[in-house]
Structure 1
């Protein structure tokens, strides 16, 4: 990864983390079994959490949650798996750790 792309990633991640609801989504996804019920939309939480479940917990409009999840996905903080009409979200732990390490080394 070049330095320029790392800087761009840091900016995208910082922007994504600037919003309290997006930080909360990451907290929920850190321990999904504590915040989301297995079954319902998502079935097995091992594959991630269904967007509908995140929306329900976030108590915001579908379009608002879709935007927040899109920002998290574009920043790389979350991974998305599509299964039919459902999108399942999970944290990108490797990128989160890399971001934390970068902050520790540079700030």
Structure 2
């Protein structure tokens, strides 16, 4: 079952909102990713950390909050983690907000 309170809390951070915004069009923001096309494999956490100007462990915690909320998915390739938006979960949350506000 989806925890709407946890999803709402996940959006209560400018850093997490920025990540979701950038991941909406990863090619526009992370075209320089050399390990593969960001729109296909996701965006590497190191590039997100650089863009946020935060330490990687801090960014990893933000991404884990988004993942637990269902808003991003993670793909592991070797030792690297790549993140993408979960558009279905975001659409579901938006619909729920529209129905309840």
Normalised TM-score (structure 1): 0.88
1:35 corresponds to: 29
Q: Compute the displacement of 1:38 (Å).
A: 4.0
Q: Does 1:51 align with 2:64?
A: no
SS in 2 for 1:33: helix
The runs of 5 or more residues in structure 2 that have no matched partner are: none
Where does structure 1 lack aligned partners over 5 or more consecutive residues?
Answer: none
Larger Rg over CA atoms: 1
Provide the rounded CA distance (Å) in 2 between the counterparts of 1:39 and 1:16: 26
4+ residue runs of structure 1 moved beyond 3 angstroms? none
- In structure 2, C-alpha distance between the alignment counterparts of 1:79 and 1:32, rounded to whole Å: 14
RMSD (Å), alpha carbons: 1.1
> Deviations for 1:28-86, whole angstroms, at most 9, x for unmatched residues?
0000111112443x422111111111111111011111110111111110000101011
